[in-house]
C-alpha cells in the first residue's frame, strides 16, 4: 500500500462522500453521480483515484461497473495511523 497516495485520496471531500455512500451499499457510477452537482466524468475521475489506491474495487454487471468499498485497505491505514501515535 502506498500510504501517501491513500491519504491524498482521502483528503478530498468528494471522495470521502463517495466512500460514505459505498459504505452503505455497492453502487454504479451513474448512481453515485446523481448525488453530486458535478459531471459523470468528474465522478469517474474520483472513482479512478479511489481504485488506484485500492480504497474501492469494481466489478462489471452488464454494461455497468459496480463499485464497492475495500475495507481491508481502511484497516491497514488505521493500523498505520495507530502505530504512528503510539
Q: What is the pTM of this model?
A: 0.88
Which CA distances in Å does 32 have to 6, 28, 70, 71, 84? 20, 6, 16, 19, 33
Please report the domains of the chain, with CATH numbers, ordered by start residue: 3-85 (1.10.10.10)
Residues 24-80 have pLDDT tens digits of: 999 999 999 999 999 999 999 999 999 999 999 999 999 999 999 998 887 888 888
Residue 3: the pLDDT is 80
The confidence score (pLDDT) of residue 73 equals 83
pLDDT for position 1:
55
Task: Convert the pLDDT of each residue in 10-19 to its tens digit.
Answer: 999 999 999 9
Amino acid at each position: 500500500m502506498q500510504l501517501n497516495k491513500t491519504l491524498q485520496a482521502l483528503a478530498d471531500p468528494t471522495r470521502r462522500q463517495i466512500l460514505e455512500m459505498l459504505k452503505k451499499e455497492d453502487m454504479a457510477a451513474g448512481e453515485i453521480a446523481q448525488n453530486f452537482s458535478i459531471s459523470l466524468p468528474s465522478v469517474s475521475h474520483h472513482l479512478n483515484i479511489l481504485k488506484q489506491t485500492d480504497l474501492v474495487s469494481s466489478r462489471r454487471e452488464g454494461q455497468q461497473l459496480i463499485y464497492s468499498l475495500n475495507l481491508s485497505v481502511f484497516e491497514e491505514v488505521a493500523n498505520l495511523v495507530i502505530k504512528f501515535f503510539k
